[in-house]
């Protein structure tokens, strides 16, 4: 990828719509707009109605609203042009062909706008991920979390930690590299309370990591039971649509079926699994193996029983009971049961389904709720922060007798791990702190 290329792409979704938006970014964006309109650039950030023309034939393509965003005050940090055209497929295709004829322009690669914004310090990695999460958000909870992340809320916290870590590293480095300068005697020890405070703050965030990851990825709930207990029927009843094949024949579901739900703004993925029972059929055995594997990794499980078998529980379900499991008794339209140990429902008639949804929502809220916005939303963030904490713990456990060179290496590794989250690791920052705070070489 050549950064100086000017790129263009359809920024709105494909298909017929009232309006489609093309976005250009790069040094030739302004010239391209002048070529398409035959007029000078409009005032910055002011919409103007202009005819777009083919640069070779001068044929009119469409009447569009055009906007000019000179860099660096744009999304990518480069000169940006936005063309708001009519959303027909033929219009979009004609404008794309015209843009492709202009010198210095090429179609954008996947994710290239955000990549350029990152390269030009308009976005850090967490904000770029937040933008992607906002585009893919399906629930209100996901939208709010992604918006905070895209707005830089996470970046500000991580960058605050990074600043403190660099200051601690600068104190340690100063004791090594500038021992002959007029420095405080305890300069190398001043890092310890800073590091201790940082480590404690990061450890607190790590304990809340599952909340953010679950909210972004969705809670996973596996429906388990014997063949013909009504797992697929229950899945369809909760989804309010025919998502799984329902049959009176046992063993219809051979593989894991996933359905995504929005429970009052909380994302949930339901897993319809193969019936758990003894069998010699190789295909059924593989389905049962997959069902148990997904059950063990799910956030919690619905153990489904046939009301006609109640209170007998199959052996295969007994070892799955626990605080992460919810017992549901189905087919109460065929036999009434008292809710002594589980929820009584009928997937066929809908009886008890609303109560089950309320229970699932309460479980989801308990697993995803937090008194304040969470910082960790991805496995990548968690792994990097865990690496950072391990290095800080090694620094603190070493005591004051360890060589400053080794202590500094611990802090350098910690800073590198933290920098992987936002994408910013800069040696110059360290030198700036050393020379400014301790007035080295003044």
Which residues carry a binding-site annotation for (6S)-5-formyl-5,6,7,8-tetrahydrofolate? 23, 82, 122, 442
Q: What angle do CA 331, 333, 337 make, to 5 degrees?
A: 75
Cis status of the peptide bond prior to 72, with omega within 30 of 0: yes
What residues form the annotated binding site for Mg(2+)? 232, 253
What residues form the annotated binding site for GTP? 228-233, 247-253, 272-275
- For residue 24, the SS3 value is strand
Spell out the residues 6+ positions from residue 319 whose beta carbon is closer than 8 angstroms to its own. Answer: none
CB 257 within 8 A of CB 221: no
Report the relative pairing of strands 6-10 and 105-107 from DSSP bridges: parallel
CA distance linking residue 398 with residue 325, whole number of Å: 44
Spell out the residues 6+ positions from residue 360 whose beta carbon is closer than 8 angstroms to its own. Answer: 221, 238, 263, 268, 326
Supply the Cα-derived Rg of the chain in whole angstroms: 29
Q: Closest Cα partner for 25 from 72, 64, 95?
A: 72
What residues form the annotated binding site? 23, 82, 122, 228-233, 247-253, 272-275, 442
CB 261 within 8 A of CB 270: yes
CB 408 within 8 A of CB 176: yes
């Amino acid at each position: 990828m050549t950064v100086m290329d000017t790129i263009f792409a359809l920024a709105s979704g494909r298909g017929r719509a009232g309006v489609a938006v093309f976005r250009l970014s790069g040094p030739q964006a302004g010239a391209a707009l002048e070529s398409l309109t035959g007029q000078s650039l409009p005032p910055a950030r002011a919409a103007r109605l202009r005819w777009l023309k083919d640069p070779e034939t001068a044929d009119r393509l469409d009447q569009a609203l055009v906007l000019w965003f000179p860099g660096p005050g744009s999304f990518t940090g480069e000169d940006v042009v936005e063309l708001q055209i009519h959303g027909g497929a033929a219009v979009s295709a004609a404008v794309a062909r015209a843009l492709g004829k202009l010198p210095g322009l090429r179609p954008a690669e996947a994710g290239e706008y955000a990549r350029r914004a990152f390269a030009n310090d308009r976005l850090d990695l967490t904000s770029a991920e937040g933008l992607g999460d906002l585009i893919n958000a399906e629930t209100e909870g996901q939208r709010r979390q992604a918006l905070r992340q895209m707005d830089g809320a996470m970046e500000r916290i991580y960058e605050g930690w990074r600043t403190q870590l660099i200051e601690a590293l600068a104190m340690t480095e100063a004791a090594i590299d500038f021992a002959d300068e007029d420095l405080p005697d305890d300069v190398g020890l001043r890092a310890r309370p800073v590091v201790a405070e940082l480590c404690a703050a990061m450890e607190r965030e790590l304990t809340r990591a599952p909340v953010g990851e679950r909210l972004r990825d969705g809670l996973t709930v596996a429906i388990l039971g014997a063949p013909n207990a009504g797992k697929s029927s229950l899945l369809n009843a909760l989804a309010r649509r025919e998502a799984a094949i329902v049959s009176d024949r046992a063993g219809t579901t051979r593989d894991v079926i996933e359905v995504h739900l929005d429970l009052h703004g909380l994302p949930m993925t339901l897993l319809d699994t193969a019936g758990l029972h003894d069998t010699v059929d190789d295909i059924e055995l593989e389905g049962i193996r997959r069902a148990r594997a997904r059950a063990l990794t799910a956030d919690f499980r619905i153990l489904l029983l046939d009301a006609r078998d109640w209170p007998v529980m199959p052996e295969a379900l007994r070892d799955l009971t626990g605080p992460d499991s919810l017992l549901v008794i189905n087919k109460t339209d065929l036999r009434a049961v008292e809710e002594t140990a589980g929820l009584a429902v009928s997937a066929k008639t809908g009886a008890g389904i609303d109560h089950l949804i309320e229970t699932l929502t309460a479980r989801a809220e308990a697993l995803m709720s937090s008194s304040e916005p969470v910082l960790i939303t991805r496995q990548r963030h968690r792994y990097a922060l865990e690496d950072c904490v391990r290095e800080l713990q090694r620094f603190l456990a070493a005591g004051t007798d360890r060589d400053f060179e080794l202590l500094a290496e611990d802090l350098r590794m910690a800073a590198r791990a933290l920098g992987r989250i936002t994408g910013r690791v800069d040696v110059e920052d360290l030198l700036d702190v050393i020379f400014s705070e301790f007035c080295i070489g003044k």
